[in-house]
Each structure stands twice: as structure tokens, then as C-alpha cells.
Amino acid sequence: MAGTAVRGRLTWQIATVAAVRPETASVRTIQFDIPHWGGHEAGQHVDIRLTADDGYVAERSYSIASAPGEPLELTVERLEDGEVSPYLTEELRAGDELEIRGPIGGYFVWDGGEAGPPLLLVAGGSGVVPFRSMLRHRARVGSTVPVRLLYSARSLPDVIYRAELDMPGDGADVVYTLTRQQPPGWAGHSGRVDGELLTEVAWPPGRGPLAYVCGPTAFVEIVAGELVSLGYPPDRVKTERYGGVAAP
Amino acid sequence: MSPVSRGFHGRRREPDADAKRVPPGQYVTTDFPVLSAGPTPHTPLEKWTFAIRQGGATAKSWSWQEIRELPAEDVTADIHCVTKWTKLDTMWQAVSLDTLLAQVEHEARYVLAFCDGGYTTNLPLADVTGGQAWLAYGYDGSPLQPEHGGPARLLVPHLYFWKSAKWVRGLELLAADEPGFWERYGYHNYGDPWREQRYAGD
């Protein structure tokens, strides 16, 4: 049954930036200090609100990058045409304040159950953010649920959380595919995620896997469709699409 | 009182005339983002029907052909997604839900839209009658694409766009309100963008 997500009013809370960490050339992870943060589940997101000195306000949603029980972290990719992401990735620094409310979303979440069907996580670009929360959560609670992350990135330097993902823990593995540029001697996968790669990497449907797919719209459309073609029931494929919006 | 975000100026791209059309917390996009909780279903048109159900039984059902033979309207509307984007002047080809509901005798006060893929969303009857809601099958002069909810979706532009259910296959007429998919996952039961009713309790 649904409904673990949000009960009662979600109020805006003042969050102080505790630290900003570079992940790649265009991606930053921001850790916040929120005095009364009520916790979150792996896979949820928050809304943030920025206020200019003349009262102009902008709101956006971002996936939570940290595990339940850890300080709230958001990982933000700078979009060249963006209004908010350049501010968050280039201007924001420790000690700055902004407003956050959440956590939001009760569907694209994983509760970290000790036993359960294997998880397949398929990420396109910054779609990996909620999966970092899930993988850290899995390690923290000592879950033995087998997890496989298939992560499509443009190039190796574009891989977010690489040091962490290279050591995902027992029973978890991470498979990269690099779509635009591969380093010399790259022995991993190249090119976009397609039916052939999913056939090789995805858990067989007979094991009753649960799949989460997160990334740009076109990516999610293809991956989710291919998983259904492979025999995954549609209700075992949870998706989160980044919309491919030029604006945020 | 919101703290000022040091160094944040924002872009304010919308001309003043458009700014009045943008609900609080929203920004204007010219793109058409896609959001849904699962894979895109592909139901062949020859198997597609739109049904109005009541008391567990189908009160009225239309084939694709029958829907297309009903009077259609060109609807221009601003749409507002709870994930913050607003798109102005979207153009749809659609059948008014008034036309469909008029063919069924009922005393319902709510409807629950049901869809391919299992998605549902709830709406007061008063919000889907009186020229406020449509079954849309055309977008911008072309058939509605599957990722945007084709072959047909609801269009209820005065509420957040999750109420405009994609891949809709019918309406269940109800005497009492019953939360739909996102409404059970913590989103607002009604979803008025002008009152910023995004989440339960807003």
C-alpha cells in the first residue's frame, strides 16, 4: 500500500549549505544542514526555493543523493541554459541559505529490505543521483538484495560518484556504458543502452526483478520499453524522467 | 519570511503579460517535458475503448472510431506541471467530457480516471463538466504521441497536469471521492496550481 511519502503539510525550511563538493566538471554535490529535517527514503526528491533580493522567486525539484539517515545532499548538474542550476553549481558556497521542502514522492523509492527480488537500476547521466541514495542505503542497512546498476554516461570524466561506484559493496555491481568518448583501452561497454545490452546486463525476468530507470525522457522511453520487451511486467519498471527541459 | 539567496538574481524571461499567466513557483518552458511513473503503454487502436463505469459495470463505451466521430473542439490552454514547468498556449484536438458524460444517467459527484498501465487520478465531477475538461487525441495538429499520453489523454488544464491522465481508458463515476495514484503517494488531492496545491496539506 502506498502512502509512506507525505503526511501533513510540507513546510519550507531554511537549509544552510554545509559543504559543496565537485563531482565532475559540471556537477556538484551540496550538503545541507537543516535543523528539523524529518528524514527521507532512498529515491525521494525535494523542492528548493531561491529568493532574489527584490523578492523574485524560483523553485525547482532535485533528487536526494544521500542515504536515509545521512545529512541531506543534492547533486546538481549545471545546464548551460539554466536559471537555477548555474547558481547552485557555481555561486552557492558553505554558509549560504536557501529554502527546502520535502521529502516528496512515494513511488520511485526503495525501502532497503533485507531480502527481496534483485534490483536493476538503469541511469542516464545525472539520473544516477537517486541510485546513489539507494546504493548507500543498501550498504548502511546491510541488505543482501542483489543490485546491478547500469549507468550510461557520455565519457568516463562525466561519471558522477565514480570512486564510490567503483566499490559498490558485496552483491552490488556497476556496469558503465560510455556513449560519446571512451578512454584508450576501454574494455567496458560503449554506445547507448539498447535491447542487446539490457539482455546481457539485466536480471532475467524469471528472477522477479524490480527495475528503476532514471534519466532524460528519450533514454527512459527506450530503456523502459526494452525492459518490457524482455519480459519485465510494466508494473515492475518504475521510471523517473528528467523531461529534457531546456529551462531549469 | 524567505531568506535572500545571496547572489541569486534569476532570469525573469517572461514578459509581463505572460507573467500573469504563470502560477506561483512555476517557470515557462517551450519544451514539452514527459513525466510518468512507468513504461509507455502501446494499445492498438482496434483494441482501444473509452468507457464510463458506474457501480462496477460499464455504463457506456466508445470505440476509437466512435470517439473520433463525436464533435471535436480545438482547445488552446496553458498547462502547469507540479514539477514546476508551465507551457503556454498548448493546442489540442479534443472531445469535451460534457459530450461523453451527457450520454450516461448518473448522480455521481466524483470521477476516477483509469488508464493503461494502471494509473488513476481523481477529480470532482464539477471540475470535469461545464467546458473545463476534455478527452484529447490531437496535439499541435498531429495525433497525440504515445509518450505524451496517446492515443488519448485527459485534458484538465485548470488543475496540475498529473490530473490530465495519460493513456486514459475511461472514467469511473463515484458518489464519494477516492484518491488516485499520485494522490495516494502524497500529492494534493485537488491540485489547483494557482493555490500551489502541490502536496498533501498544501
Number of compact structural domains in chain A: 2
CB atoms < 10 A from the CB of A77, how many? Answer: 21
Are residues A222 and A139 part of one domain? Answer: yes
Q: Is the pLDDT of residue B133 over 70?
A: yes
Selected residues 35-74 of chain A with any CB under 8 Å from a CB in chain B: 47, 49-53, 56-61
Residue A89 domain-assigned? yes
* Last residue in a domain, options A61, A78, A104: A104
What is residue B199's predicted lDDT score, i.e. its pLDDT? 94
Specify if B13 maps to a domain.
Answer: no
How distant is the alpha carbon of residue A122 from its chain centre?
10
Residues 6+ apart with CB under 8 A from A62: A45, A46, A48, A74, A75, A76, A129
A2 — pLDDT class (breaks 50, 70, 90):
very low
The continuous run of DSSP H or E covering A138 comes out as helix A129-141
- Contact assessment for residue A64 and residue A72, using Cβ atoms and an 8 Å cutoff: yes
Q: What is the pLDDT of residue A7?
A: 53
How confident is the prediction for chain B on average, in pLDDT?
A: 94
Answer yes or no: are the C-beta atoms of B158 and B127 closer than 8 Å.
yes
Higher pLDDT, B78 or B30: B78
Kindly report the pTM of this predicted structure.
0.92
Q: A8 contacts in B (CB within 8 Å)? A: 200-201
Whether B20 is covered by a domain: the verdict is no
* Residues of chain A with C-beta less than 8 angstroms from the C-beta of B184: 2-3, 106
More confident residue, B11 or A97: A97
- The answer to whether residue A5 sits within a structural domain is no
Provide the pLDDT for residue A1: 35
Domain with A44, as residue range(s), is 13-104
| Cβ-based neighbours of B44, under 8 Å, separated by 6 or more | none
Q: Is B10 part of a structural domain of the chain?
A: no
pLDDT tens digit sequence for A77-101: 998 888 999 999 999 999 999 999 9
Cβ-based contacts of B29 with chain A (< 8 Å): 245-247
Nearest CA in chain A to B146: A221
Residue among B11, B40, B185 minimizing CB distance to A106 = B185
Picking from B36, B35, B13, the residue whose alpha carbon sits closest to that of residue B26 is: B13
> Which band of pLDDT confidence, cut at 50, 70 and 90, is reported for residue A243?
low
Give yes or no: residues A98 and A137 share one domain.
Answer: no
Report pLDDT digits (tens) over A47-80.
999 999 988 899 999 999 999 999 999 999 998 8
The DSSP H or E segment spanning A225 is: helix A217-230
Q: For A172-189, how does the pLDDT look when each residue is reduced to its tens digit (9 = 90+)? A: 999 999 999 999 999 999
Same domain, A224 and A144: yes
The answer as to whether A8 is a domain residue is no
CATH code of the domain covering residue B118: 3.90.420.10
Mean pLDDT over residues A210-217, rounded?
95
A170 and A204 share one domain:
yes
Residue A52 DSSP label: -
The pLDDT value recorded for residue A4 is 44
